[in-house]
Amino acid sequence: MRATKKAFMRYNSVMNLDFALFSAINGYAGAHPWARSYAIFFAEPFAYVLFAVFIGFVVFSRKSKLEKFLFLCYSGIAIVLAYVLAVPAFRYFIHRPRPFLSHDVLKLIEETSYSFPSRHATLFFALAFLAYSYNKKLGLVFFVSAIVMGIARVMVGVHYPSDILGGAVLGIFLSWLTLRYIRPFVERLLAPHLNQYLH
């Protein structure tokens, strides 16, 4: 009973800190109207920019066509794992309402699904880890971009910081899993058949 009470108190402390961080970030957009348009851009349209940069960098890199093709194949698998499978699976069991549904906060964009984990954070931290495995400079740019996007998602009122953190951990883990276990399988399966066509 005492252990349960301590665990509950720790949980409450974490949730209070989470909301305090949310209030500070979301409140900044409330107090500074000029920041709102930037927050909206980095929370939503910026995702398309990052996708274009990711694909463009790979396509125009100096690696062989086979290396590029294989990288895009297992990157696609990681994206499906993160965006299509893992996040919906978590949200099936964890029904965390969006901040604007539970509190009187500034809401700058519309979202209708559950909050944890952040689908954007899961996806773009997964891409950042993949990008880092392909090119370290590109990876660092993507990690910084994913952090900026995560902060923007909090600023526009659709996520708590813990949603972003949870998504980041999940995305990185799924990309590591893909690189560690799925990449070797994809390379063994496809490389021998494609090597004569892609140089």
Q: Are 91 and 123 in contact (CB under 8 A)?
A: no
Q: Could you give the number of structural domains in the chain?
A: 1
Kindly state whether residue 135 falls inside one of the protein's structural domains. yes
Q: Which pLDDT score is estimated for 106?
A: 87
Q: Provide the CATH number for the domain around residue 59.
A: 1.20.144.10
Kindly state whether residue 12 falls inside one of the protein's structural domains. yes
Kindly state whether residue 199 falls inside one of the protein's structural domains. no
For residue range 24-66, list pLDDT tens digits in order.
999 888 888 889 999 999 999 999 999 999 999 999 988 888 8
Tokens linked to 46: 């910026």
Q: Whose CA is closest to 127, among 89, 174, 164, 165?
A: 174
Kindly state whether residue 63 falls inside one of the protein's structural domains. yes
Burial class (CB in 10 A: 0-12, 13-18, 19+), 18: middle
Kindly state whether residue 74 falls inside one of the protein's structural domains. yes
For residue range 65-112, list pLDDT tens digits in order.
888 888 998 899 999 999 999 999 999 999 999 998 888 888 889 888
Distance CA 170, CA 178 (A): 12
Q: Are 111 and 178 in contact (CB under 8 A)?
A: no
Q: Is the pTM of this model over 0.85?
A: yes
Domain encompassing residue 189: 2-194
